[in-house]
A and B are shown apart, each in its own frame.
Chain A
């Protein structure tokens, strides 16, 4: 539906530039479409800035007044002239120039991205580079501009906002700051909370293998299909002494559990989700849960009671939200009464009379002035070689959601896309000698799967694509568990594979 707003923009005369290794539907409507090699984003983004600076297209007033570090940025991006970028990223130099001019000369201009930018060992660098580009052209803090990550799962934003992260409490308050910890100890009426950083999902799974983590409690996630390098992930989860899974279906992960607790679906409970534009919106109970299944919030409260822990005596999700707002400044003004409005509330919404915040960094960055963080291009962790000559990139498709637990149990969705497949360019198909064969074996250093083949020129030669929704052809049996050093995000978008006929 974000694309629908992009179309509205186009109807009003906006320009569209699409840069994607796969020719997506939007690229057929774009003014400019460029097709880079996966994993070269820093290089071509630096190249765009190189053109903008050299052709005098930067927003110098904005750069002078509201940013710092421009000289360092200039130094770095000067190393990326379009001809050199063409060598690295495979984007023709002229195309890159045209895109740079169009982006810089059209105001305001928005950058939209999803996991294609983040799921790399250089994910953090990629995001910083997007931010550099937006700041260089003054595209920050004005409606219709900015750097706009589109989040894949419905409540990723909310799960992060509410402290579902190892380094922060709700509202991004850092766990290692003693005052913050003290505030939460007081609010929750407990002592001796941990002041150390916790482990990420991928680290916990790794630690399970070593025996450092002995028990894992999983609420509504399915790492046995969503994590990179699945064979290894299974081995680690099996090493646990105790695994609890709370879910609505017997997922691949639940099948490994010691205890499985039946949760309620979104149709059977109240609550809130926060969408990709920080909009907090209501989830409303429509029907009763089947059998003895219970809402996840009730299960957690019951468990706390079974453990003899006070502080979980909530009558409803509305009551939970009343506690959230006390300690979470960005949600400070949220209440279920205010959320009745169909448009919800966009955080930060610090007080009950604050109207919410449609866009960030208006007039001023959160940190005062914006700092350019120039970065150098680094190749992906695993590149193609003789043995594994193709790049595999993974992703979603319109008809399914994440690990398919729900959508694959929906006839109207499953009939559109019932089986896993690999997209491959006709040139590669010919070289491999597919000869019209319908199935192929795709293997990497970590595993192998057999899937249907779709020969299509919408993919770059040298690159293949597999959607990750399918348990019978799990793309993540192939992917590489190399992580971005800061965000800890795995490199789902690049690994080396071989494709053979079967």
Chain B
């Protein structure tokens, strides 16, 4: 697989201003902008980094450049959601998608371990899709709990939060310059653990129509809070009630308006 990807990236480098991927240098693995074929011996696929955020950053810095990106399924879903919110320009991004392995799909409880590039102007996928991973058992366990217990469960979990903002910073679909989590109107600053449930509720509501189930928030949480249990349930609700699956379709508009102009009610906005 990796050889096939390297060959395709080498090909694409000829026409693009660079390809974003993971590079293993002597220091270790991290995102990198590849320019030459020689560097591609160092292209790798693991561990996970928020590739869509790197794409956004580089596209903003270089408004005319055309980049490529080596992306797994959740990276592509994140790019799709970012594109809908004008944070990534699909016209200037070539996606070289690759399928996750069965082990990876299982470890992530991933429902959709292959990139879905339908509708993306220029893209290809390398590899054969594997079956979905089994669902996260904690979600089912949680769903069994009576309401009062659920509250107590989250109360206990969020007591551990050290307000690192890591779950937000790593999120591949978070991008606002001014974040409600840092607005003293909503969340009292400097309190540790951050006020329950406001801090986490705001985050969850803002994720409701865009969480792409990449699990990076949970992986980066120093307090080991099972954040994706919360987000999986919200995703289920949004899918069941509104028929929306984030990242699945570049054309589908999110059920929650993206701008005030889209709002289905009359707003007296000056």
Query: Is there a contact between chains A and B in the complex with CB atoms less than 8 Å apart?
Result: yes
A3 within 8 A of B: yes
Could you tell me if A25 and B27 are in contact, using CB atoms closer than 8 angstroms?
no
> Interface 1/0s, chain B 174-191, versus A by CB < 8 A?
000000001000000110
Closest to A284 in B: B27
List, in ascending order, chain B residues with CB within 8 A of A213's CB: none
List, in ascending order, chain A residues with CB within 8 A of B27's CB: 282, 284, 340, 342
CB interface residues, A 1-28, toward B, < 8 Å: 1, 3-4, 7-8, 11, 25, 28
A184 within 8 A of B: no
> Interface 1/0s, chain A 21-41, versus B by CB < 8 A?
000010011000000000000
Report the separation of the CA atoms of residues A60 and B162 in the bound assembly, to the nearest whole angstrom. 40
Q: Which of A7, A284, A399 contacts B224 (CB 8 A)?
A: A7
Report the separation of the CA atoms of residues A121 and B193 in the bound assembly, to the nearest whole angstrom. 32
A398 within 8 A of B: yes
Report the separation of the CA atoms of residues A1 and B165 in the bound assembly, to the nearest whole angstrom. 14
**Known contacts A4-B224, A284-B27, A416-B189, A29 near B160 by CB under 8 Å:** yes
Report the separation of the CA atoms of residues A284 and B27 in the bound assembly, to the nearest whole angstrom. 10
> Interface 1/0s, chain B 190-215, versus A by CB < 8 A?
10110000000000000000000000
Report the separation of the CA atoms of residues A11 and B226 in the bound assembly, to the nearest whole angstrom. 12
> Interface 1/0s, chain A 417-434, versus B by CB < 8 A?
110000000000000000
Could you tell me if A25 and B193 are in contact, using CB atoms closer than 8 angstroms?
yes
List, in ascending order, chain B residues with CB within 8 A of A3's CB: 162, 222
Q: Which of B160, B190, B193, B223 contacts A399 (CB 8 A)?
A: B190
A367 within 8 A of B: no
B14 within 8 A of A: no
Count, chain B residues at interface, CB 8 A: 16
Q: Which of B26, B189, B190, B192 contacts A25 (CB 8 A)?
A: B192
**Known contacts A7-B223, A342-B28, A29 near B159 by CB under 8 Å:** yes
List, in ascending order, chain B residues with CB within 8 A of A284's CB: 27
CB interface residues, A 395-419, toward B, < 8 Å: 398-399, 412, 415-418
List, in ascending order, chain B residues with CB within 8 A of A29's CB: 159-160
B163 within 8 A of A: yes
Could you tell me if B192 and A8 are in contact, using CB atoms closer than 8 angstroms?
no
Report the separation of the CA atoms of residues A417 and B194 in the bound assembly, to the nearest whole angstrom. 13
Q: Separation in Å of the B248 CB from the closest CB of chain A?
A: 33
List, in ascending order, chain B residues with CB within 8 A of A25's CB: 159-160, 162, 192-193
List, in ascending order, chain B residues with CB within 8 A of A418's CB: 189
Could you tell me if B222 and A398 are in contact, using CB atoms closer than 8 angstroms?
no
Report the separation of the CA atoms of residues A416 and B189 in the bound assembly, to the nearest whole angstrom. 5
CB interface residues, B 4-51, toward A, < 8 Å: 26-28
Could you tell me if B182 and A28 are in contact, using CB atoms closer than 8 angstroms?
no
List, in ascending order, chain B residues with CB within 8 A of A28's CB: 159
Count, chain A residues at interface, CB 8 A: 20
Report the separation of the CA atoms of residues A267 and B236 in the bound assembly, to the nearest whole angstrom. 44
Closest to B193 in A: A25
Report the separation of the CA atoms of residues A25 and B164 in the bound assembly, to the nearest whole angstrom. 14
Could you tell me if A11 and B189 are in contact, using CB atoms closer than 8 angstroms?
no
Q: Separation in Å of the A397 CB from the closest CB of chain B?
A: 8
Q: Separation in Å of the B142 CB from the closest CB of chain A?
A: 17
**Known contacts A29-B160, A412-B182, A4 near B223 by CB under 8 Å:** yes
Q: Which of A7, A340, A342, A398 contacts B160 (CB 8 A)?
A: A7
Report the separation of the CA atoms of residues A417 and B189 in the bound assembly, to the nearest whole angstrom. 7
Could you tell me if B224 and A1 are in contact, using CB atoms closer than 8 angstroms?
no
Q: Which of B28, B159, B163, B223 contacts A398 (CB 8 A)?
A: B163
Closest to B28 in A: A342
List, in ascending order, chain B residues with CB within 8 A of A412's CB: 165, 182
List, in ascending order, chain B residues with CB within 8 A of A399's CB: 190
List, in ascending order, chain A residues with CB within 8 A of B28's CB: 342
Report the separation of the CA atoms of residues A353 and B20 in the bound assembly, to the nearest whole angstrom. 38
Q: Separation in Å of the A230 CB from the closest CB of chain B?
A: 24
Could you tell me if B224 and A8 are in contact, using CB atoms closer than 8 angstroms?
yes
List, in ascending order, chain A residues with CB within 8 A of B26's CB: 340
List, in ascending order, chain A residues with CB within 8 A of B163's CB: 398, 416
Q: Separation in Å of the B90 CB from the closest CB of chain A?
A: 31
Could you tell me if B189 and A415 are in contact, using CB atoms closer than 8 angstroms?
yes
List, in ascending order, chain A residues with CB within 8 A of B224's CB: 4, 7-8, 11
Could you tell me if A415 and B182 are in contact, using CB atoms closer than 8 angstroms?
yes
Closest to A421 in B: B190
Could you tell me if A398 and B189 are in contact, using CB atoms closer than 8 angstroms?
no
Report the separation of the CA atoms of residues A371 and B160 in the bound assembly, to the nearest whole angstrom. 39
List, in ascending order, chain B residues with CB within 8 A of A7's CB: 160, 223-224
List, in ascending order, chain B residues with CB within 8 A of A8's CB: 224
Report the separation of the CA atoms of residues A340 and B193 in the bound assembly, to the nearest whole angstrom. 36
Could you tell me if B162 and A398 are in contact, using CB atoms closer than 8 angstroms?
yes
Q: Separation in Å of the A31 CB from the closest CB of chain B?
A: 14
> Interface 1/0s, chain B 89-121, versus A by CB < 8 A?
000000000000000000000000000000000
List, in ascending order, chain B residues with CB within 8 A of A1's CB: 222
Q: Separation in Å of the B135 CB from the closest CB of chain A?
A: 21
List, in ascending order, chain B residues with CB within 8 A of A11's CB: 224
Report the separation of the CA atoms of residues A416 and B192 in the bound assembly, to the nearest whole angstrom. 10
Report the separation of the CA atoms of residues A282 and B26 in the bound assembly, to the nearest whole angstrom. 12
Q: Separation in Å of the B27 CB from the closest CB of chain A?
A: 6
Report the separation of the CA atoms of residues A1 and B166 in the bound assembly, to the nearest whole angstrom. 13
List, in ascending order, chain A residues with CB within 8 A of B159's CB: 25, 28-29
Q: Separation in Å of the A453 CB from the closest CB of chain B?
A: 14
Report the separation of the CA atoms of residues A11 and B190 in the bound assembly, to the nearest whole angstrom. 27
CB interface residues, B 30-86, toward A, < 8 Å: none
Report the separation of the CA atoms of residues A418 and B182 in the bound assembly, to the nearest whole angstrom. 13
Report the separation of the CA atoms of residues A215 and B192 in the bound assembly, to the nearest whole angstrom. 43
List, in ascending order, chain A residues with CB within 8 A of B182's CB: 412, 415
Contacts A25-B159, A398-B192, A418-B189 supplied; 18 other A-B pairs, CB < 8 Å: A1-B222, A3-B162, A3-B222, A4-B222, A11-B224, A25-B192, A29-B160, A284-B27, A340-B26, A342-B27, A398-B162, A398-B163, A412-B165, A412-B182, A415-B182, A415-B189, A416-B163, A416-B190
Question: Please, could you name 9 A-B residue pairs with CB atoms under 8 Å apart, sorted by A?
Answer: A4-B222, A7-B223, A25-B160, A25-B192, A340-B26, A398-B192, A412-B165, A416-B190, A418-B189
6 smallest beta-carbon distances between A and B, as pairs: A4-B222, A417-B190, A416-B190, A340-B26, A342-B28, A416-B189
